[in-house]
Amino acid sequence: MPSVRSSYTDSLRFYGRHTPLELAETWGTPLYVYNEDILRERCRDLMQLSSHTGYGVNYSVKANANPALLKIVREEGLVVDAMSPGELHLDAMAGFPPEKILYISNNNSAEELRNAIDRALLVSVDSLSQLAAFGRLNAGGRVMVRFNPGIGAGHHAKVITAGKETKFGVTPDRLDEVFALLDAYRLTLAGINQHIGSLFMTPGGYLDAAAVLLDLAGRLPDDALKKLEIIDFGGGFGIPYHKYDGEARLDLADLGARLHALIAGWSAKTGYAGRFLIEPGRYVAAECGILLGRVHAVKNNGDKRYVGTDLGFNTLVRPAMYDSFHDVEIYRAGGVNAEQKPMRQTVVGNICESGDILAKDRLLPVMREGDVLGVLDAGAYGFVMASNYNQRCLPAEVLIRADGAAQLIRRRETLDDLTRCFP
C-alpha cells in the first residue's frame, strides 16, 4: 500500500483485504481494528507453553472484553476470568459456560458475590474479610483464595500487584487464619491464585513467584491438597511495544520449558492431579489491535511541532496514565513525500488537557492534515479503558476476519447513547 510508515502492518497484512485509509473512510475514526489471525496465533502460543495434563490458559478479559474476540478465544480452548458483573455478562454472552469462568475480583459487595455464586462460578477471594463474607453467603461451598507471594513485577508502579506495596492478596503467613475461616464455614479450598503484576519481558520473576505459590500449596494439609483443583499463577506476560526499534519478544520457548519443568516436577513430587493455569490479558489481546485516528491540525508552538488528532486519552489512556509507549504508523494516499526528512513531533488528541499526549517528541516522517495514524498494540487496555470524557462517544470496533474481510463488532456510540441514562 502506498503510505508513509507502514512496513510493520504491511508485513503482517494486518488490514486483510482493506487499507487503513479505506477502513477510516468507511467506519470513521477513532476506530479500533483487530486482526483475527493474530489473536488466534497469540492464543496458540500460550496454549502450547506446556503439555502437562491440566495445564491451561485463563484469558483475563479485563484487557479486552469484546464478545466477538471472546468467541475466538473460546474456540482456541482458553477459559476466562471475570472481575465484575459486567465482565461476567460478556463472558456468558460469548458462550463461556460457568465452569469455564473464574470469578477473580476484589472488594466485592455481598450482592456481587451473590451474583457470582448464583451463577455457579468458582470465586477467588483476596482477603480474610472477603473469605468470611463468602462463607456467610455460601457455607459448605467451594472457594479459591488469592495469595500475595511477596514478589511483584510490572511496567509501572500502578500495575504491580504483589509485594508489600499493594492492596492485593492474602500474605502466606495468614494461612492458619485462612484455614480457620474455611473450617468455620465448611468451605473447600478449590484453588489458589496470584498475580504479581503486568508486563514482564524476562521470565525470572514470574517463575520465582510461581515457585513460591507451589511452595505454599505444598504446605497445605494432605487432605486439602487432595481437594485442590486449580493453581493459577496469574498473568503479566509482556509484549514488545517498540515495534520499529525491533524490541525483542518475551522468550516464550524458554518460559514454557521452565514452567513445564516446574509444574511437572512438582506434580510428580506431590501427586497433585489438578489444573495449572496462567492468566494473561495483554499477551492475548494487545498485538491484534490497532487504533486508527486522523490528523486534523498541525502547528508549531515555539520549536515544538504538534500533530493534532482525534486520538485523545478518552480513546487510549495508556500514554497519559502510565507514560506508555505505542508505536505509530502513518497512512496517506500517494505515500511518502521524499524530500521531507523525519522530524520530532508530538502527537496529541482533542481533549482539553495538556496531558492529552499520545506520542511525545517522536522522530517520525512529517505528518500532515488528513493523514490517518495507526497506533500499534492497542488491543489490550485500549477500548476497555476508553471513556466518554469531554462527552465524546466511544469508538467503533472492527474485526479483520481470517478471509481478510472487515466486520463491525461494535458500532460507534451516538449522542443518544450519551444521554441514555438521564431520567
Q: How far apart are CA 78 and CA 63, in angstroms?
A: 15
Helical axes 110-118 vs 128-137, angle rounded to 10°: 60
| C-alpha cell read off for 319 | 500514554
Nearer to ligand LLP by Cβ, of 378 and 406: the residue is 378
Task: Assess contact for 28 and 393: CB atoms under 8 A.
Answer: no
Nearer to ligand LLP, 81 or 329 (CB): 81
Q: Which is nearer to ligand LLP, 206 or 266 (CB)?
A: 206
Cβ proximity to ligand LLP, 203 vs 235, nearer residue: 235
**352 tagged catalytic:** yes
Minimum distance between the CB of residue 349 and ligand LLP, rounded to whole angstroms?
17
Pairwise CA distance, residues 391 & 419, whole Å: 10
DSSP string, 324-372: ----EEEE-TT---TTSPPEEEEEE-SSSSTT-EEEEEEEESPP-TT-E
Grid coordinates representing 329 are 504508523
Which residues lie closer than 8 Å to 359 by C-beta, 6 or more apart? 319, 325, 326, 328, 345, 346, 347, 375
Of 281 and 374, CB closest to ligand LLP: 281
Which residue from 123, 193, 121 is spatially nearest to 161, judged by alpha carbons?
193
Asked whether the beta carbons of 144 and 193 are under 8 A apart, the reply is yes
Q: Cβ 333 to ligand LLP, closest distance in Å?
A: 33
Q: Which is nearer to ligand LLP, 18 or 74 (CB)?
A: 74
Beta-ladder partners of 34: 289, 399
Q: Is 182 left (phi over 0), alpha (psi -120 to 50) or beta?
A: alpha
Nearer to ligand LLP, 29 or 198 (CB): 198
Active-site residue (options: 43, 288, 352, 421): 352
Give contact residues for ligand LLP (rule: CB under 6 A).
60, 62-63, 104, 159, 161, 195, 198-199, 234-237, 279-283, 318, 322, 381
For residue 306, the tally of other CB atoms under 10 A from its CB is 16
DSSP code, position 109: -
- We find the least distance from the C-beta atom of residue 234 to ligand LLP, in angstroms, to be 5
With 0-12 / 13-18 / 19 or more C-beta atoms within 10 angstroms meaning exposed / middle / buried, residue 385 is middle
Min separation Cβ 60 and ligand LLP, Å: 4
What minimum distance in Å lies between the beta carbon of 154 and ligand LLP? Answer: 8
| Least distance (Å) between residue 402 CB and ligand LLP | 24
Distance CA 396, CA 410 (A): 5
CB of 169 to ligand LLP, least distance (A): 9
Burial of 129 (0-12, 13-18, 19+ CB in 10 A): exposed
Q: Would you name the residues annotated as active-site residues?
A: 352
